[in-house]
């Protein structure tokens, strides 16, 4: 289903590229050889995955944010770094390892941070262009569930004297992740531009099936 969704989306983007007018009135981009950055509004789609011993997790949709910083090698090819932050609610089923096979239901909110290095290909050299993207990086997931008793660190402060601060370890992990995306881009004459895209992310979890996470990105950016 996910592969079919990406094939359909990429086909639509390719169709836009083929049907877009390239007459003498087309406005050509000036992004080649320049840096750019964007601020993102990110909408993640609900998803789920199965873990070891019959455990599972359902993750709700969420609104988050992100940013990119990249360099346009030429009018067609952009390489960038992308970061996004989400805090979706989740519903997890935890299975005890005993003969009773007792299940526990946990409802909480997680922190999900994604860092990706992407290669973006723009089909057109005009200010409006469809594009596709592929990327690789890592994802940090924090369950916000305590993994042990709380602790404290103390030190001498030159202003406040002897100071202590508490902390709480939680279940978390950093894993390899990768993505494919497709969308459209439109540039203004003043260097500002807008992008809209759908991105499919895959997070390679250590003790569960690969997590498939779809995200919609709306971005405002600047070329400099």
Helix, strand or coil, per DSSP, at residue 148: coil
CA distance 172 to 56: 16
CA 171, 68, 118 angle in degrees (round to 5)? 80
Residue 18's pLDDT is 54
Asked whether residue 21 is domain-assigned, the answer is: no
Asked whether residue 25 is domain-assigned, the answer is: no
- Residue 116 CB coordination number (10 Å): 24
Helix ranges restricted to H, the chain: 2-19
Residue 189's pLDDT is 92
Residue 20's pLDDT is 52
Domain encompassing residue 156 = 2-12+31-223
Write the CATH number for 85: 2.40.160.20
Asked whether residue 18 is domain-assigned, the answer is: no
Q: Are the C-beta atoms of residues 202 and 165 closer than 8 Å to each other? A: no
Alpha-carbon dihedral sign for residues 115, 121, 123, 126: positive
Asked whether residue 110 is domain-assigned, the answer is: yes
Q: DSSP assignment, residue 61?
A: -
The total of structural domains in the chain comes to: 1
Half-sphere exposure of 160 (CA within 13 A, CB side): 7
In the predicted model, what is the mean pLDDT of residues 145-161? Answer: 85
Asked whether residue 215 is domain-assigned, the answer is: yes
Q: What percent of the chain has pLDDT over 70?
A: 86
Q: Are the C-beta atoms of residues 37 and 141 closer than 8 Å to each other? A: no
Asked whether residue 17 is domain-assigned, the answer is: no
pLDDT higher than 60, residue 64: yes
Asked whether residue 39 is domain-assigned, the answer is: yes
Q: Are the C-beta atoms of residues 192 and 184 closer than 8 Å to each other? A: no
List the structure tokens of 44. Answer: 């993640």
| pTM of the predicted structure, to 2 decimals | 0.83
Asked whether residue 61 is domain-assigned, the answer is: yes
CA distance 154 to 70: 41
* Digit-coded pLDDT (tens) for 157-203: 888 889 988 878 888 999 999 999 999 999 999 999 999 999 999 99
CA distance 64 to 86: 5
CA distance 29 to 37: 16
């Amino acid at each position: 289903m996910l592969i079919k969704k990406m094939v359909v989306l990429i086909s639509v983007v390719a169709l836009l590229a083929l049907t877009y007018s390239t007459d003498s009135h087309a406005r050509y981009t000036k992004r080649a050889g320049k840096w750019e950055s964007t601020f993102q509004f990110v909408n993640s789609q609900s998803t789920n995955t199965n873990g070891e011993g019959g455990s599972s997790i359902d993750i709700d949709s969420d609104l988050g944010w992100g940013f990119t910083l990249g360099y346009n090698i030429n009018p067609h090819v952009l390489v960038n770094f992308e970061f996004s932050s989400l805090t979706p609610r989740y519903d997890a089923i935890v299975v005890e390892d005993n003969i009773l096979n007792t299940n526990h239901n946990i409802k909480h909110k997680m922190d999900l941070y994604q860092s990706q290095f992407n290669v973006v290909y723009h089909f057109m050299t005009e200010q409006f262009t469809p594009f596709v993207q592929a990327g690789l990086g890592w994802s940090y997931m924090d369950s916000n569930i305590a993994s042990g008793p709380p602790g404290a660190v103390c030190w001498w402060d030159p202003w406040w004297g002897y100071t202590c601060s508490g902390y709480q370890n939680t279940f978390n992990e950093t894993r390899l992740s990768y993505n494919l995306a497709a969308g459209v881009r439109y540039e203004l004459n003043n260097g500002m531009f807008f992008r809209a895209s759908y991105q499919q992310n895959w997070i390679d979890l250590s003790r569960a099936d690969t997590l498939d996470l779809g995200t919609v990105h709306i971005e405002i950016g600047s070329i400099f």
